[in-house]
Structures are given as structure tokens and as C-alpha cells.
Amino acid sequence: MKNASCRAGILVFMIVWTPSLFAWGQTGHQIVATIASRGLSPAVAKEVSVLLNGQTLADVAPLPDQWRKTDTYESGWHYVNIPKSDTAYDPTRDCPPQQSEVGNDCAVAAIEHYKTVLADTTQSNETRGQALTFIVHFIGDIHQPLHNANNNDEGGNEVPVTWFGAATHTYSGDSNPVSWNLHAVWDDAIIEKSGMSVDAYATYLLKRPRPAHATSGTTVDWTNAAYRLAKTNSYVIPSATPAPLGKKYYARNLPVVNKQLLLAGLRLRSVLESALGGKK
């Protein structure tokens, strides 16, 4: 598998990370991974540790956003471009053929492909470790509503907003200001406003009532559900440019973000149990 060996080397070190505008930011991806890790069967938890060279799911969760900076053909694996004007995922339209190991260019195809690779014990640990890292990340991605909808605006990346009156913000470790956009609000701002650490946020979400039938359905079902949330919630913003988002928008959408993070973590755990031979 392309780059599996060199990427395996990345997995043995802790990384210094600056959140990107690509997906759930580092905190969101690590919350999802932490939820998934809590409750894994002992056998699957051990297998995860072996495949990741002792790293945790939370350690590796953000890595694919770094990998895609150099392997740009991977970019489309992080999202599904379902037109906002439509109603649901159409694989012919939204997941076109691609000359790659995945074979199609969208998150749905990438998740299904790497689930198969992860479950294949004839593959090397390096190859399966890479597949595991991709699955952790991409399942997180498809639960961020704006990773499934597009209004000719790169999933909200081209929609300028202000956030509680601020037009710009900075990421940890970077002093350069970045303009707020709608996608970044969903990736980072709503989550970060809590001020909680990754562990505290995961604990908080796991203490909340579990959504009914949380782990049922398919990858396509999960994608369509998040897509509908993009239409009913994410894109419902004031018409001004930049759109002023603040207390009202935050209060309406924090429960959505929390539910999506929890669902992503529970579903990721279920996928790993199935792929690695644990509880069904």
C-alpha cells in the first residue's frame, strides 16, 4: 500500500499539531477517538495498540489531514459533496471513479475500502495501521454536517462569518490571524467554546443519554443523516456578509455537534469491534 511504511514511522511519535480547516479540528477528532476507545473489548484494544505501535486512537486521529497535504489525491476521501439543492447521496454523482487504491473519490468509498483492509489479517501491520488511522479520521469526518453538503462553497469554507463579533481567530501555535468561515465554526469554534479538554468532553458526552439505535445503519445512512443536518442547521445563517454568528446560533447547534461527536465515537467503536473480530 502506497506510503504505508513511511507513515508507520509517523505513528510511533507524538505529533505537534496545529488545527486545520480540513475537518473536525484536532479536538473534535480526538473526542471521537476517545469515545471509541472507551469500551473497546480487551482483545480489540490490544490489537489497536499493536497496529498503532502503542499509540492511541486519539493520538493518530488527526494525522490524515497532514497526509493529504502531500498526497493530494486523498483530499476527496474526507468528504462527500452532496449538492445542498438535492436530497440524498448519489454514488454516481457524489463519489466519482478515481485511479487510487480506494477506486472512488469520497469518504463513503474510503471508509468501506479501509474497513476491508483493516479486517484482512494477511496484510502487514503497517498497512492495517494506516487503514485504522484512516477509518478513525474519516468516520469522524462524515459526522461533521458540512463534510457532506456543498452549496458551491467548498462545504462552507467560502462562507465568511463572524463568531461572537470576531472576524478572525488564531490557532494554537500560530500567531497569524485567520478569517472565520462557516466550515471552521463547525470544525472548531463550537467545540472549543466549551473550554473542556478532550478527555473531559468525551466523559461529558458518554454520560449523556445514548441516541436510540446509535450504531445501526450503514456508512451511507450516517452520511445522509449528517447531510440533512447541514441543510436544517449548518446553513441556516443570517443573510448578511459576513454572517454574524453568536449566542443564538451556538445555542441551537451545540446539541447537534455534541450528538454527532457521540454518534461518531460509538459508531467508530462498533466498526472497530467488527473489523478486528471483537463484539458484534
The confidence band for 71, taking pLDDT boundaries of 50, 70 and 90, is confident
| Least confidently predicted of 14-28, 87-101, 195-209 | 14-28
Q: Is the pLDDT of residue 213 over 80?
A: yes
Across the range 16-21, mean pLDDT stands at 39
* C-alpha to C-alpha distance for 220 and 217, rounded to whole angstroms: 8
Residue 23 confidence (pLDDT) = 59
Residue 174 confidence (pLDDT) = 77
| Alpha carbon distance, N-terminus to C-terminus of the chain | 28
Residue 13 confidence (pLDDT) = 38
The confidence band for 10, taking pLDDT boundaries of 50, 70 and 90, is very low
pLDDT tens digits, one per residue of 163-189: 999 999 987 767 899 999 999 999 999
Q: Is the pLDDT of residue 5 over 80?
A: no
Look up residue 13 and give its amino acid.
Answer: F
Residue 68 confidence (pLDDT) = 87
Residue 121 confidence (pLDDT) = 96
Residue 3 confidence (pLDDT) = 53
Share of the chain above pLDDT 70, in %: 90
pLDDT tens digits, one per residue of 132-155: 999 999 999 999 999 999 999 999
H runs (alpha helix) in 120-173: 125-141
> What's phi and psi for 245, nearest 5 deg?
-110, 135
Query: What is the residue extent of each domain of the chain?
Result: 18-275
pLDDT tens digits, one per residue of 217-263: 999 999 999 999 999 999 999 999 999 999 999 999 999 999 999 99
* C-alpha to C-alpha distance for 129 and 126, rounded to whole angstroms: 5
CATH architecture of 18-275: Orthogonal Bundle (1.10)
